[in-house]
Amino acid sequence: MANFGTIGLSIAFGMGIYSVVAFFMFNSNRGLKYLLSAKNAVYGTALFTTLSVFAMLYALITGDFSIEYVTQYTSQDLPTIYKLTALWAGNAGSLLFWAWILVLLAALVTVSKENREYIPYASPIMMVVSVFFLFMLNFVSQPFVQLLNPPPDGMGMNPMLQNPGMVIHPVTLYLGYVGFTVPFAFAMAALIMKNPGDQWIKLTRKWTLISWLFLTLGNLFGAQWAYVELGWGGYWAWDPVENASLMPWLTGSAFLHSVMVQERKNMLKIWNMVLIIVTFGLTLFGTFLVRSGVVASVHAFGNSSLGAYFLIFTSLIILAALYLVADRINLLRQGNQFESYISKESSFLLNNLLLVGSAFSIFWGTVFPIVSEAVVGQKIAVGIPFFNQVNAPIGLAFTLLMGICPLIAWRKANFENIAKNFLWPWIIAIIGMLLMVFIGGITKPYALIAYTICVFVISSTLQDIFKGVRVRKKLTGENLIVSLIRLLSKNRRRYGGYVIHMGIVMMIVGITGSNVFNSEAVKTFKPGETAEVGGYTISFKGLQQTSRDNMEVIYADLSVIHNNNDMGNLQVEKVFYSTSEQPMTEPAIISTFKEDLYVLLTGWEDDGTAIFKIHINPQIKWLWTGGWVIVIGVIFALWPGKGSGVGSRYLGRGEVSYGKRVR
Amino acid sequence: MPKKIKLILALSVLLGAFGYLMVSGFNNAKTYYMTINEVTASADKGKLGKQTLKVSGKLVGESVQWEPSKMELRFEMISEDQKETMPVLYKGVKPDNFNDGIEVIVDGKYTVEQVFLADKVLTKCPSKYEEQQ
The pLDDT, as a whole number, for residue A294 is: 61
Q: Is the dihedral of CA A287, A291, A294, A296 positive or negative?
A: positive
Looking at mean pLDDT, say which of A438-442, A454-458, A475-479, B66-70 comes out highest. A454-458
Would you say residue A663 has pLDDT above 50? no
Q: Residue by residue, what is the 3-state secondary structure of A451-508?
A: HHHHHHHHHHHHHHHHHHHHHHHHHHCCCHHHHHHHHHHHCHHHHHHHHHHHHHHHHH
Would you say residue B67 has pLDDT above 50? yes
**B125–chain A Cβ distance below 8 A for any pair:** yes
* A70 and A1 part of one domain: yes
Per the CB < 8 A criterion, the answer to whether A280 and A180 are in contact is: yes
Would you say residue A657 has pLDDT above 70? no
Would you say residue A343 has pLDDT above 60? yes
pLDDT tens digits, one per residue of A33-79 = 999 999 999 999 999 999 999 999 999 999 999 999 999 999 998 89
Phi (first) and psi of residue A640, to 5 degrees: -65, 155
Asked if the structure places residue A339 within a domain, the reply is no
- Measure in Å the smallest separation between the Cα of B99 and chain A Cα atoms: 9
Chain A residues in contact with B96 by the CB 8 A cut-off are 574, 582-585
Report A:155-174 residues touching B (Cβ under 8 A).
Answer: 155, 158, 161
**Cβ–Cβ gap A522/B71 under 8 Å:** yes
Nearest to A609 by CA among A548, A564, A550, A542: A542
Nearest to A253 by CA among A209, A284, A304, A218: A209
As for how many domains chain A has, the answer is: 3
Chain A residues in contact with B4 by the CB 8 A cut-off are none
Q: Which domain holds residue A66?
A: 1-159
Cα–Cα distances (Å) from A20 to A15, A122, A322, A448, A452, in that order, read: 9, 11, 21, 56, 54
Report A:503-562 residues touching B (Cβ under 8 A).
Answer: 522, 524
The pLDDT, as a whole number, for residue A650 is: 39
CA distance A497 to A519: 35
Asked if the structure places residue A12 within a domain, the reply is yes
**Cβ–Cβ gap A379/B107 under 8 Å:** no
Would you say residue A660 has pLDDT above 70? no
Asked if the structure places residue A333 within a domain, the reply is no
Distance of CA A108 to the CA centre of its chain: 22
* A504 and A632 part of one domain: yes
pLDDT tens digits, one per residue of A285-341 = 887 877 766 665 544 444 567 778 888 999 999 999 999 999 999 988 888 877 777
Q: Is the dihedral of CA A102, A188, A194, A260 positive or negative?
A: positive
Phi-psi sector, A593: left (phi>0), alpha (psi -120 to 50), beta: alpha
Would you say residue B32 has pLDDT above 90? no
Residue A586, helix vs strand vs coil? strand
**A606–chain B Cβ distance below 8 A for any pair:** no
Residue A146, helix vs strand vs coil? strand
CA distance A600 to A620: 17
Nearest to B125 by CA among A573, A82, A583: A583
Q: What percent of chain A has pLDDT over 90?
A: 60
Per the CB < 8 A criterion, the answer to whether A215 and A173 are in contact is: yes
Please state, as a whole number, how many other Cβ atoms lie within 10 Å of the Cβ of residue A54.
15
Using CB atoms, pick whichever of B18, B24, B130 lies closest to residue A389: B24
Using CB atoms, pick whichever of A302, A390, A602 lies closest to residue B25: A390
**A392–chain B Cβ distance below 8 A for any pair:** no
Report A:312-371 residues touching B (Cβ under 8 A).
Answer: 341, 353, 357, 361, 364, 369
Nearest to A555 by CA among A509, A498, A599, A601: A601
Residue A158, helix vs strand vs coil? coil
Q: Residue by residue, what is the 3-state secondary structure of A594-662?
A: CEEEEEEEEEECCCCCEEEEEEEEECHHHHHHHHHHHHHHHHHHHCCCCCCCCCCCCCCCCCCCCCCCC
Asked if the structure places residue A176 within a domain, the reply is no
Domain extents in chain B: 1-30, 32-124
Helical H segments across A294-383, by residue range:
306-327, 329-333, 344-376
pLDDT interval class at A459 (50, 70, 90): very high
Per the CB < 8 A criterion, the answer to whether A281 and A318 are in contact is: yes
Chain A residues in contact with B7 by the CB 8 A cut-off are 341
Query: Cβ contacts of residue A652 below 8 Å, gap of 6+?
Result: A409, A410, A411
Nearest to A15 by CA among A99, A140, A141: A99
Nearest CA in chain B to A355: B18
Would you say residue B127 has pLDDT above 50? no
**Cβ–Cβ gap A390/B30 under 8 Å:** no
Nearest CA in chain B to A586: B96
Would you say residue A661 has pLDDT above 70? no
Distance of CA A80 to the CA centre of its chain: 27
**B20–chain A Cβ distance below 8 A for any pair:** no
Residue B81, helix vs strand vs coil? coil
pLDDT interval class at B128 (50, 70, 90): very low
Per the CB < 8 A criterion, the answer to whether B85 and B115 are in contact is: no
* A494 and A588 part of one domain: no
Q: What percent of chain B has pLDDT over 70?
A: 89
* A33 and A133 part of one domain: yes
CA distance A224 to A169: 9
The pLDDT, as a whole number, for residue A647 is: 52
Superfamily of domain B32-124: Nucleic acid-binding proteins (2.40.50.140)
* A614 and A630 part of one domain: no
Residue A177's H or E segment, with its range, is helix A164-179
The pLDDT, as a whole number, for residue B103 is: 82
* A614 and A634 part of one domain: no
pLDDT interval class at A359 (50, 70, 90): very high
The pLDDT, as a whole number, for residue A293 is: 60
The pLDDT, as a whole number, for residue A304 is: 61
Nearest to A385 by CA among B22, B12, B63, B42: B22
Average pLDDT over residues A625-644: 89
Give me Rg for the CA atoms of chain B. 21
Per the CB < 8 A criterion, the answer to whether A277 and A183 are in contact is: no
CA distance A361 to A363: 5
**B5–chain A Cβ distance below 8 A for any pair:** no
Asked if the structure places residue A121 within a domain, the reply is yes
DSSP code, position A236: -
Would you say residue A115 has pLDDT above 50? yes
Distance of CA A15 to the CA centre of its chain: 31
Poorest-pLDDT segment among A5-9, A54-58, A365-369, B48-52: B48-52
**Cβ–Cβ gap B32/A298 under 8 Å:** no
**B47–chain A Cβ distance below 8 A for any pair:** no
* A539 and A480 part of one domain: no
Nearest to A137 by CA among A41, A7, A317, A21: A7
* A3 and A146 part of one domain: yes
Would you say residue A108 has pLDDT above 60? yes
The pLDDT, as a whole number, for residue A615 is: 94
- Measure in Å the smallest separation between the Cα of B22 and chain A Cα atoms: 6
Q: Residue by residue, what is the 3-state secondary structure of A88-138?
A: HCCHHHHHHHHHHHHHHHHHHHHHCHHHCCCHHHHHHHHHHHHHHHHHHHH
- Measure in Å the smallest separation between the Cα of B56 and chain A Cα atoms: 11
Asked if the structure places residue A594 within a domain, the reply is yes
Would you say residue A652 has pLDDT above 50? no
Phi (first) and psi of residue A546, to 5 degrees: -150, 165
Asked if the structure places residue A106 within a domain, the reply is yes
**B131–chain A Cβ distance below 8 A for any pair:** yes
pLDDT tens digits, one per residue of A189-220 = 999 999 988 899 999 999 999 999 999 999 99
Average pLDDT over residues A389-406: 92
DSSP string, A268-292: -HHHHHHHHHHHHHHHHHHHHHHHH
Burial of A188 (C-beta count, 10 Å sphere; 0-12/13-18/19+): buried
* A532 and A553 part of one domain: yes
DSSP string, B12-74: HHHHHHHHHHHHHHHHHHEEEEEEHHHHHHHHHTT--TT--EEEEEEEEEEEEEEETTTTEEE
Q: Could you give the count of Cα atoms lying within 13 Å of A465 in the half-sphere of its Cβ?
A: 25
Asked if the structure places residue A309 within a domain, the reply is no
Would you say residue A156 has pLDDT above 80? yes
**A602–chain B Cβ distance below 8 A for any pair:** yes
The pLDDT, as a whole number, for residue A199 is: 92
Would you say residue A611 has pLDDT above 50? yes
Nearest CA in chain A to B51: A380
pLDDT tens digits, one per residue of A225-251 = 989 888 788 899 898 888 999 999 999
- Measure in Å the smallest separation between the Cα of B37 and chain A Cα atoms: 15
Dihedral of the alpha carbons of A599, B122, A217, A128, in degrees to the nearest 10: -160
Which amino acid is it at A505?
V
* A558 and A489 part of one domain: no
**Cβ–Cβ gap A304/B96 under 8 Å:** no
Looking at mean pLDDT, say which of A109-113, A375-379, A656-660, B35-39 comes out highest. A109-113
Using CB atoms, pick whichever of A381, A382, A611 lies closest to residue B68: A611
Please state, as a whole number, how many other Cβ atoms lie within 10 Å of the Cβ of residue A147.
15
**B23–chain A Cβ distance below 8 A for any pair:** no
Average pLDDT over residues B45-57: 80
Average pLDDT over residues A569-584: 81
Please state, as a whole number, how many other Cβ atoms lie within 10 Å of the Cβ of residue A273.
26
Nearest CA in chain A to B133: A302
* A490 and A585 part of one domain: no
Phi (first) and psi of residue B109, to 5 degrees: -125, 150
* A437 and A542 part of one domain: no
The pLDDT, as a whole number, for residue A264 is: 87
The pLDDT, as a whole number, for residue B84 is: 87
